[in-house]
Structure 1
Amino acid sequence: MKSRIRFTDLYIKNLKPMEKDFWAREGLGFAVRVVPSGEKLWYYIYTFQGKKRYMWLGSYPAVPLAAAREACEVARAKVKTGVDPLAQKEAELEERRRAPTVAELCAEYLERHAKQFKRSWQKDEQMIKRDVLPEWGKRKARDITKRDVVLLLEKIMDRGAPVQANTTFALVRKMFNFAVERDILEHTPCHGVKPPAPKVARDRVLSEAEIRTFWNNLDACAMSNESRRALKLVLVTAQRPGEVIGMHTDEIKGDWWILPGERVKNKKSHRVYLSTLAREILAEAVAENKEKQGIPGDQEYHGFMFPSPQRAKVQSIDPQALIVAVGRALASPVLDQNFKRVLDRDGKPATVNRLDVAHFTPHDLRRTAATFMAESGEMDEVIDAVLNHAKQGVIRVYNQFKYDAQKQAALESWSRRLIGITTGVKGKVIAIGSRSKPA
């Protein structure tokens, strides 16, 4: 059945299916194929290098007549210039099929960049698993738009984690820049996107009143006991949050916590004196770990001080756990009687600051401890030794003095002052658990 008339919508609609496929042709290769099921398929039929080609242009009415005719004209123009439009289309489809998904891009970024150049690559991996893959994992990396990036960051902001939103943005931006550098993508969707939250000054130090409020309000926050104790220990020992949460009983030798070089920023083993207050926090952690694992009281506990709740994996809590815990405590969602999020006047999820302290990060607790030590008259060299800051210049080579005695005195002095700050009574010991040393 052939037709030399110009197609109209009425003509196409009136084409009735038969027992076998049949074609209706307008001319110049533009045709419609009608199959027994009643489906009508647009085609451009042409000859290229002596071979007859059938290029599918879509189905009617999903692809209307005008769109199908325009696609046919575009393909016809390519043939005139010596380009096979069907081969080109197939090549584009194959290229798209082989184009990486976001999940594949993330895997390549972690292997080729993060693991090779970033000591904290595991933090990148955790952020990717928590926020990036659930939203974009199955999508093609080339399909991610600027709007997608904005919506992802707003979702993190809405759960009350502004710092995490900024950190995730920095990671996503780096990952897409990595893709552009490796010619995986032509452009990054992060171009023109600004950090979602104002940057918090890095000189944040909690005041005495804020320390007292923070310490005493921790129990009112929805976080694990592991996170509560780890946050306290960051403040007590002035060590990095990531180092604190990875603490293992193998690292504790008497009253000293010996951090191996592979666990510290400057790759040099570090000795931290465990003050009375620090030992009390650890004793409480040991007691709870024994209870959870069914270890008799007279037996020693061996393992991470702040173990992950995922019993299938023997590891410490997540590297981002403290950041997330503090973020949620500073901006906890407000729920109604049906446990649904309450919105504020601007239509955004309402939050409440359960710590009742201005915004800070876990790392600010370390800075706070160092600042109070300085106010108490500790020498800069001693504070640097407590913080395990790398020495610079000639002193790095010739000054091998470990300052153990000075570090012990400084941390015990800070412990006593911290007890006075949190209780309001100088010299009073906070009852937070057994006085026994970690077993």
Structure 2
Amino acid sequence: MGTKKPITTPAEVSAFVLPAGKLKARRAVKSKHGAGLSIEVRVGKSIKLWIYRFNLGGQQKEMMLGSYPAMTLKRAREEHSTAAELVKKGLDPRKQRASEKASNLAAWTMQDAFDRWIEHYQHQPGRNTRPPTAKTVSQQYGRWRRHLAPRLADFYVRDVSRRVLIDVLEQASKNAKVEARHSLNLLRQLLRYCQKREQIDVNPTDGLVPADIGASASAPRQRHLQLSELRQLWQAIDDTRADNEGKATTAVLSIPVANALKLLILTGCRRSEVAFMQWDEVNKTEWKIPAERTKSNRQHKVHLCPLALELLAEQRQLTAGKFVFESTQGNGKSLHPDSLSTTVARLQGRARKEHDRTAQLYHLEHFTVHDLRRSFATQATETLMADPLLVEMMLAHAPPKLMGTYNRAARWKSQVDVWQRWGEIIAQQVASETWRHSNVVNIKR
């Protein structure tokens, strides 16, 4: 490197060139972090290299810190400081850099993480033992693309802080509170996936709730159908059944879908419980839904009234497989719960963005499949005067801690009575062709 004084300024770095007749030349660079920093030029190369020479274990070693002008003098001194500190601890900075490089290569960006997670997510069974539908997966893609990716995609997963997530989700909440709540749930699942694959040690969404991002849960729905509305729904189902010669050409229901909707009305069960119903779960008038198919993870028993048994008898003539409500595609699979929701929306003319005002039930206040469950609960409580706690048990809601197994078993007869009386009301005032509008309700004790 000769006897020239060490370089001290950026101008000197820029002015340093290869002496005539030389293939390579180095010059020392002054650094407050100690000796060993130099800059090197080579023949035929437009860039200059920052070199650090150090002594470790009695041996002279050197490493390249970077190239000029991409790495400035200031930055080279900072890199020199980092390397010199490692040498003081007896560590080889070259190995440390290799380790960091390998770590960076193995580290995921948030976009990498989302791509891996969504592939995993769309094949994983949910609470109903089925993977999410194509519609649900598409919605997750949409949330990521609209609300999350613009600001998070290029972050390394390990660098995403709770503060960053709150900022992103608060902005999403200003546009759509419901979507912000779903986006929080997406991130919670995504980062839990990353945590299990050792991309992060702590999930920054832990303990984060919708209220923290301005997306407090919306008020619970109160919609339930009156008997007159259930009557119109039942009639619409019959009018559009696939075996009805006078059916509307714009809306045709397969018989399994029609019967499944009616069973929802009669039992108050969840749509997935009915859609995935199997013959070996039914014993005479009892239907035992296995724990793995209930939201509470407890086996749930349902009484089947005579009208419900008629529906099952018709289904028995149509199916040869294990499912009560088989798909009409002939693949031996069950109905999908989404088909029930789509059917109810179609009967109301709300299945598409542009509403069909000619739909049979368009005049009714909007309702969903889940509102049929709420209708059962409301009618059982208000019309049949059933104990609300008993109705909660009939809906398979988790019981209060003070209610033991004995109490639940002892009330089975009371539940049967309610389901039986509800079935009679539906048969007489909703499903019967001879039914006439009346405010009189037949209640048997």
TM-score strictly above 0.5:
yes
Match of 2:395 among 374, 387, 395: 387
Q: 1:393 to 1:256 in 2, by over 3 A?
A: closer
Match of 1:240 among 253, 264, 270: 270
Letter in 1 for 2:184: F
1:33 and 1:330 mapped to 2: Cα distance? 76
The Cα of 1:212 is off from its aligned counterpart by 6.8
Q: 1:98 to 1:17 in 2, by over 3 A?
A: farther
Counterpart contact for 1:417–1:426, Cα < 8 Å: no
2:96 and 2:157 mapped to 1: Cα distance? 22
TM-score by length of 1: 0.57
Counterpart contact for 2:51–2:62, Cα < 8 Å: yes
- Number of equivalences: 380
Q: Which has the larger radius of gyration?
A: 2
The Cα of 1:378 is off from its aligned counterpart by 4.0
- Look up the match of 1:399: 410
Q: What are the superposed Cα offsets for residues 130-187 of structure 1, whole Å, 9 maximum, x if unpaired?
A: 73897689985423344457647977997x792x75356257448858959x995256
Q: 1:269 to 1:209 in 2, by over 3 A?
A: closer
The Cα of 1:415 is off from its aligned counterpart by 3.0
TM-score by length of 2: 0.57
Q: What are the superposed Cα offsets for residues 370-396 of structure 1, whole Å, 9 maximum, x if unpaired?
A: 111211124227635642456723743
Structure 1 range deviating more: 16-25 or 37-46: 16-25
Counterpart contact for 1:17–1:35, Cα < 8 Å: no
Determine helix, strand or coil for the equivalent of 2:422. helix
Does 1:206 find its partner at 2:224? yes
Pairwise CA RMSD: 6.2
2:18 and 2:75 mapped to 1: Cα distance? 22
Counterpart contact for 1:214–1:356, Cα < 8 Å: no
The Cα of 1:239 is off from its aligned counterpart by 0.9
Q: 1:78 to 1:142 in 2, by over 3 A?
A: same
Q: 1:67 to 1:389 in 2, by over 3 A?
A: closer
Q: 1:416 to 1:34 in 2, by over 3 A?
A: farther
- Look up the match of 2:158: 142
The unaligned stretches of length 5 or more in structure 1 are 288-297, 336-353, 428-439
Counterpart contact for 1:161–1:327, Cα < 8 Å: no
Superposed counterparts of 1:60-139, under 5 Å: 60-80=68-88, 84-96=92-104, 102=113, 120=127, 131=140
Does 1:166 find its partner at 2:178? no
Determine helix, strand or coil for the equivalent of 1:197. coil
Counterpart contact for 2:264–2:270, Cα < 8 Å: yes
Determine helix, strand or coil for the equivalent of 1:239. coil
- Look up the match of 2:380: 373
1:157 and 1:304 mapped to 2: Cα distance? 45
- Look up the match of 1:26: 28
1:14 and 1:325 mapped to 2: Cα distance? 78
- Look up the match of 1:267: 298
Does 1:185 find its partner at 2:201? yes
1:20 and 1:325 mapped to 2: Cα distance? 83
Structure 1 range deviating more: 171-180 or 62-71: 171-180
Q: 1:268 to 1:257 in 2, by over 3 A?
A: closer
Letter in 1 for 2:319: E
Letter in 2 for 1:8: P
Q: 1:97 to 1:206 in 2, by over 3 A?
A: same
1:312 and 1:48 mapped to 2: Cα distance? 70
The Cα of 1:406 is off from its aligned counterpart by 1.8
Determine helix, strand or coil for the equivalent of 1:270. strand
RCO higher in structure (CA 8 A, sep ≥6): 1
1:80 and 1:362 mapped to 2: Cα distance? 70
Identity of aligned residues (%): 21
Letter in 2 for 1:270: K
- Look up the match of 2:248: none
Counterpart contact for 2:158–2:199, Cα < 8 Å: no
Determine helix, strand or coil for the equivalent of 2:273. helix
2:392 and 2:41 mapped to 1: Cα distance? 80
1:64 and 1:277 mapped to 2: Cα distance? 80
Determine helix, strand or coil for the equivalent of 2:50. strand
Counterpart contact for 1:44–1:55, Cα < 8 Å: yes
Counterpart contact for 2:56–2:87, Cα < 8 Å: yes
1:325 and 1:148 mapped to 2: Cα distance? 38
The Cα of 1:369 is off from its aligned counterpart by 1.6
1:59 and 1:306 mapped to 2: Cα distance? 69
The unaligned stretches of length 5 or more in structure 2 are 30-34, 241-250, 355-361, 439-445
Q: What are the superposed Cα offsets for residues 379-425 of structure 1, whole Å, 9 maximum, x if unpaired?
A: 227635642456723743762744575244233145358848xxx96
Q: 1:389 to 1:121 in 2, by over 3 A?
A: closer
2:384 and 2:334 mapped to 1: Cα distance? 39
